[in-house]
Structure 1
């Protein structure tokens, strides 16, 4: 099983950071057809072969995902898209 583990710093107030995370989630939904939902300050996302979360922390984000066998073949493009969108939004 492959993993994605990204930490990304930000200086946004919590409400703006949460809104930006929601924009990231929309991009993930469009590109990878994941289901998303908030649990406190953590946005969980999943679909067959992908299970992860984006934790909204003070001064940063933590993106973590476990990729199943087939999704692991696409780890690099998935990780690159997440990083690109984080740079764009934060």
Structure 2
């Protein structure tokens, strides 16, 4: 099973970072059609063939995801889009 593991530093206050993660999730959900929800400072997301989370700390985001067989072929595309959106919101 293919996986994504991205660490992205940020310097935002935690509440502002949480709002930015929510905005990122909305964009990615529109593009990749997944559901998401918060559990403390971790956003979990899922769809058929994808199970992941975005863990938020005071200085960093940690995005992890397991991709099923069919989506593993799109791993590079998915990872590139996540990095692009993170750069847009957190750089």
TM over 0.5: yes
| Structure 2 equivalent of residue 49 of structure 1 | 49
Where do 5+ consecutive residues of structure 1 fail to align? none
Structure 2: distance between partners of 1:71 and 1:42: 23
SS at match of 1:79: helix
| Structure 2 equivalent of residue 20 of structure 1 | 20
Using the size of structure 2 for normalisation, the TM-score is 0.98
Q: Give RMSD over aligned pairs.
A: 0.4
Shift in Å at residue 28 of structure 1?
Answer: 1.2
Q: How many residues align?
A: 90
| Structure 2 equivalent of residue 80 of structure 1 | 80
Structure 1: distance between partners of 2:40 and 2:14: 12
Using the size of structure 1 for normalisation, the TM-score is 0.99
| Structure 2 equivalent of residue 33 of structure 1 | 33
Moved over 2 A (4+): none
Note the alpha carbon deviations across 1:36-80, whole angstroms, 9 max, x for none: 000000000000000000000120000000000001010001000
